[in-house]
Every structure is written in C-alpha cells, then in structure tokens.
Amino acid sequence: MAKIGFIGLGIMGKPMALNLLKAGHELTTYDIVVERMDELIKAGARKGSSSKDVAGKSELVITMLPNSPHVREVVLGPNGVLDGARRGLILVDMSSIAPLASREIAAKAQEKGVAMLDAPVSGGEPKAVAGTLAIMVGGPEEVFEKVKGILSAMGSSVTRVGDIGSGNVAKLANQIIVALNIAAMSEAMVLATKAGVDPEKVFQAIRGGLAGSTVLEAKMPLALKGNFRPGFRIELHIKDMANALDTAHELGVPVPLSSVVMEVLQALKADGKAGDDHGGIIQFYEQLAKVQVRG
C-alpha cells in the first residue's frame, strides 16, 4: 500500500481521506485547523506538522483546498509541499481551481522533479463519504496510471481527460451544468407551487422523463424539506463559476446563462446565504414569487 499525504480536511477532504485509510493506505494528514485532524488520527492516520512535513513522509501527496491561492500557498509557499518533496513524488491536486493555475503550479513542481495531476471531483459530501465521487483528471498518462487505483478508493468514476489543467476544465463544465440545472429546477418548482400544484407530485411526475437528472434526484427532496445544510456551499459554487467565467472570457467563449446564474448566486450571498447548500438557489426564486416550495 502507498504512503500518502493528505492536505485539506474540510467537508470533502475528511471523508476522502478516511476512505483512503479504509483501503489500507498509510496516511499522513495536515490541515491548518488542527482539530480537523483528530478524527483521522483516531482512525489510524499520522499527524503532519506542516505541508513540508507531509511531503517528506509521502510518495504521493493529495491536496483538497478551497481555491487557487490556497493551492499555490500549500504547494509553492514556505514550508510547502515542494520544500519537503523528494524527486519522484507525485502531487495530485483534487481542489477545484482555475486551469491556468494548475498548469503554473505543475510547471514549478516539474522543476523540482515532482509530477502533478489536477483531479477535481464531483458528487458533494454524500458521494465523498460513500467513496463514489466522479474524479476528472488532467496530466501525464503514465502518472495517471500509477495512481488510478488509489483514486478509485475515493471515486466510482476516475477519468483522465487530457493534459494538466484538463481536469479543471472538465470540472468547470460540470459546475456550469449543475448550477443551471438547479436554477431550472427552482424556476419550474416555484412556478408549479404558485399555480397551486403540489411540487412533490410534480417531482414524481417528471423524474422518470427527459427532465429527470442526478441533480433533480439529489436536490429536490432537500428543497421540499427546506434543508439547505451545506454539502456544497453557495460560496464555493460562486468560486467555481468565477473560474468558469474567467476561463470562458480568456478563450472568447460567450456563456450568457452562466452569467445570469452567477448573479443569482451573488444575490443569495448578499442575502446572507453564502453558507447554504447550492440547492438553496431555490430560495432566490421563492423570494421573487412570494411563495415557498417547502412544506
């Protein structure tokens, strides 16, 4: 089994790291919020004192962090991964960050003899816990083949998309589709409710047809209960949509629907709902229509 370092133990990172332990791997963990390491230590992981320390004890380092600046700091900064890395170390960044940032960090890593993959995930906290995430990977094929089996302990789908940065391009595409799906679901169900039709019965009527989707199955039952406890926070989807819009604008790709949904997310943030699950997009439409879908 591999000697793995895992840096970043938030809502997603902690269950992902636990699944690596369950698969029998030797794990050294680190998070700037020290208490987050406690559950992993109890489960058999070792406690790292810094990102540099973790890298020095590992053959493979996985990072799961909020955004591009955090990954840059953890990998390139003082006491970072590259400070402790030996030649031949593999770095797998599973954060959702800008594709250009992935390429820049990978180039710096290569100078130190460290190979890097970008491997963002989709599925939210439930699939992180279950070990059934969709993992989208960018980077050299020979490096991907070395770690594919390890990644499979965290995901039911592990797909190499292309060269470094490609994983994050795939994640941006994923996040556009998810955000637009949740917004479409929200508009439709608020319309049904305002028309006096039971939204739960509408859900049951349409879920088996062309409108059915993984998003609908995951988010509609929670919306009906008014349960917006975060599996994936609105503020994080704002970050992903910002990266999507920036990347699209750099490439000259118009994304008008994404721009509209971004403003919906920003309105929710301004209303104090940044920490809600992104299924809470429905609250924006409820407020406009002066109706509540939840029972």
Give one word for 184, left, alpha or beta, with left for phi > 0 and alpha for psi -120 to 50: alpha
Question: Which tokens belong to 207?
Answer: 């879920």
- Rounded CA-CA distance 199/220 in Å is 9
CB 71 within 8 A of CB 63: yes
DSSP 8-state class, residue 85 = P
- Rounded CA-CA distance 266/261 in Å is 9
Q: Does the active-site annotation cover 171? A: yes
Cα–Cα distances in angstroms (integers) from residue 285 to residues 31, 45, 204, 289, in the given order: 37, 45, 21, 6
Question: Which tokens belong to 14?
Answer: 């902690």
Catalytic member of 14, 52, 127, 171: 171
Cα–Cα distances in angstroms (integers) from residue 194 to residues 70, 144, 189, 226, 292, in the given order: 43, 50, 9, 17, 9
List Cβ neighbours of 170 (8 Å cut-off, separation of 6 or more).
120, 136, 138, 161
- Rounded CA-CA distance 172/122 in Å is 10
The kind and range of the H/E element at 38 are helix 38-42
User: Residue 101's CB: how many other CB atoms inside 10 A?
Assistant: 20
List active site positions.
171
